Structure 1
């Protein structure tokens, strides 16, 4: 049986377009649609889909309110469609706080170089959310026991390693955190527990559009005791401050008397903008590998090769565990490659940072 999807949008044209794109995948079936949030709640109750795609601005009931209701009454993965504006970014972050798992720009041409690539990415994101291991389709029934779906790539079981010695962590000079799908909520969970006097600088690499990162940095800064800002060229890494890589660009760490960041355009053919691999690799030279690199929830394998180079130069590598990931892709790549010094549930990452460095 195919992955079952409900599409919610007040535009009949957009609904038909998303239905057509998703139904072109033999493993996905759109089983229903809705024109506003209130209809969405009823359709979800009736049809019990695996995934819901949701617009934000709709009549009768907006998408954020609908997400809150669905997640309270019958939780399941929800993908938001957003406009690439400042207002759209803030609304999307509100939707993620309400329980949505992922988002995409409503104008699909903004997410890929050509139409077919954009369609493929949409289908990939829906499939990834449908395989999410966080949620249950019905009480007591694990997601893995749902009707057959395209199987996720196998993960070689790896037992968590003993915690890195505190002395080894205290010899490090920075914390680097890379993430993608599910990352906005995951980063909030990790960073909000850190004390204002956290003794190391932090670099954050989150796959996110350029129009979203200013609003996201502002939100994190308001939620956290540490300072969080969107990075600009020339920013110095300093204790108790987290620099967020700007969307659409790359954040390079540069050594010297002080470690600074350089923001630059992406090399031709770069898939992720920003890329975890690019920032991780730059830390090999800039910080002589004396870092803790943390890879959180996300689709794909960005961060694995950068982590491999860091590990070869003495870095510590942590990965989020499968059970707490929205999408167990990026951390799985780290674990399968044998690079993880620790494998942690999301709720333990922040406390482990405090224990290791404070």
Structure 2
């Protein structure tokens, strides 16, 4: 199957470069280009591409507003290109909230050591986003309209994204629309790991937690170093709980979420009742992600033992599987986001097919299920 791609950028050089990279894969075909946001909106409606790559800063109509119009008129998987600056981070987060599914740095040298590696990563991301399965445009349009209406009425940002059908069968793990009753376990930490689609998923969950949430929370989101502070600040402004980018030496406090800084590792140290955060540089070739869910989850297991509720959300790859395995071996509980509500059913699928997660939940039900499990509220 060949996936159709629309490339949107006001730079003719960048349009040619992205087109050449994508067309190297027989699964991808760049069917057209657009030079501004309005042209992108028009061509998205006319051509119905499977994926759109979108610049942010463009004439006539910028990328963020173009995403909003496309998602309202012809919902499509959109990959944003972003500058790795504070302003670029804010704009990218705005685009994700508007409906874009993923992003990559516009300077390919910032995501890979060479052009071949960067091209391979771009093609992989586009193919993954294109795999929408049997999701109809009517369903996506209805979903988007519901989310927009919810935003207008409650000012709570949109959450779910277009589902991706997994390429391998899910295991016999228990599927649930929501948690029916608490297991009665004691918890002293909530740990959440995610990647592609994570910013919106985290926002969806954390904005539903009450101010007196009784546990500290650690958040591991695959994200560039220049993005995590802006993302933590955005979450803090929207949530009742406190959210901050984790700093070396932070003491874990109830009702506070600590976001692992991009480009480094977040380790949990100390004793369970006085646990602290250690932020480390990591040059190990064995670990792909910085921050890594495996690293943070594994360290949490050493400090908190079986008193961790771990949740793996949408994301590409398998980061979090081994860390979740370590947590479960200590007696902790692991949940995964279900396939239907994931942007990319990679990380949740990894813990599911390995038999590590005990429950699979839709994104809409995760926050309420957490509160029910810890018997709060």
Task: Give the Cα–Cα distance (whole angstroms) in 1 for the partners of residues 128 and 44 of structure 2.
Answer: 19
Task: Give the Cα–Cα distance (whole angstroms) in 2 for the partners of residues 85 and 140 of structure 1.
Answer: 31
Partner of 2:170: 156
Quote how far apart the aligned CAs of 1:273 are: 1.0
2:173–2:355: 8 Å Cα contact kept in structure 1? Answer: no
In structure 1, the gaps of 5 or more residues are 142-150
TM-score with structure 1 setting the length = 0.93
Does residue 1:261 correspond to 2:277, yes or no?
Answer: yes
Task: Give the Cα–Cα distance (whole angstroms) in 1 for the partners of residues 317 and 123 of structure 2.
Answer: 14
Quote how far apart the aligned CAs of 1:134 are: 9.1
Partner of 1:147: none
Does residue 1:78 correspond to 2:83, yes or no?
Answer: no
Does residue 1:54 correspond to 2:71, yes or no?
Answer: no
Quote how far apart the aligned CAs of 1:31 are: 0.5
Give the match's secondary structure for 1:166: coil
CA change 1:314–1:157 in 2 (3 A) is closer
Task: Give the Cα–Cα distance (whole angstroms) in 2 for the partners of residues 138 and 174 of structure 1.
Answer: 40
Does residue 1:166 correspond to 2:177, yes or no?
Answer: no
**Residue of structure 2 aligned with 1:331, choices 348, 361, 366:** 348
Task: Give the Cα–Cα distance (whole angstroms) in 2 for the partners of residues 152 and 112 of structure 1.
Answer: 27
1:134–1:325: 8 Å Cα contact kept in structure 2? Answer: no
Quote how far apart the aligned CAs of 1:161 are: 5.6
1:164–1:341: 8 Å Cα contact kept in structure 2? Answer: no
Partner of 1:64: 64
Cα deviation digits, residues 279-315 of structure 1 (max 9, x gap): 0110121112420110000000000011011101101
Cα RMSD, aligned residues only: 1.8
**Residue of structure 1 aligned with 2:311, choices 274, 294, 300:** 294
Partner of 2:360: 343
CA change 1:353–1:273 in 2 (3 A) is same
Q: Which moved more, 1:110-119 or 1:14-23?
A: 110-119
CA change 1:134–1:179 in 2 (3 A) is farther
Which 4+ residue blocks in structure 1 deviate beyond 4 angstroms? 137-141, 161-165
Does residue 1:304 correspond to 2:321, yes or no?
Answer: yes
**Residue of structure 1 aligned with 2:230, choices 210, 215, 223:** 215
Partner of 2:154: none
Give the match's secondary structure for 2:5: strand
Partner of 1:317: 334
Task: Give the Cα–Cα distance (whole angstroms) in 1 for the partners of residues 140 and 92 of structure 2.
Answer: 30
Give the match's secondary structure for 2:225: coil
Partner of 1:8: 8
Task: Give the Cα–Cα distance (whole angstroms) in 2 for the partners of residues 210 and 336 of structure 1.
Answer: 31
Does residue 1:202 correspond to 2:234, yes or no?
Answer: no
Task: Give the Cα–Cα distance (whole angstroms) in 2 for the partners of residues 312 and 159 of structure 1.
Answer: 17
Task: Give the Cα–Cα distance (whole angstroms) in 2 for the partners of residues 203 and 284 of structure 1.
Answer: 12
Partner of 2:300: 283
In structure 2, the gaps of 5 or more residues are 142-164
1:76–1:135: 8 Å Cα contact kept in structure 2? Answer: no
2:166–2:345: 8 Å Cα contact kept in structure 1? Answer: no
Does residue 1:229 correspond to 2:208, yes or no?
Answer: no
Task: Give the Cα–Cα distance (whole angstroms) in 1 for the partners of residues 19 and 37 of structure 2.
Answer: 18
1:280–1:310: 8 Å Cα contact kept in structure 2? Answer: yes
CA change 1:133–1:228 in 2 (3 A) is farther
Quote how far apart the aligned CAs of 1:139 are: 6.2
2:175–2:361: 8 Å Cα contact kept in structure 1? Answer: no
Task: Give the Cα–Cα distance (whole angstroms) in 2 for the partners of residues 223 and 134 of structure 1.
Answer: 34
CA change 1:197–1:347 in 2 (3 A) is same
Quote how far apart the aligned CAs of 1:133 are: 5.3
Task: Give the Cα–Cα distance (whole angstroms) in 2 for the partners of residues 139 and 244 of structure 1.
Answer: 33
Cα deviation digits, residues 229-277 of structure 1 (max 9, x gap): 0000000111100000000010000022510010001242121111000
Count residues in correspondence. 348
CA change 1:286–1:95 in 2 (3 A) is same
Task: Give the Cα–Cα distance (whole angstroms) in 2 for the partners of residues 266 and 275 of structure 1.
Answer: 10
Quote how far apart the aligned CAs of 1:318 are: 0.4
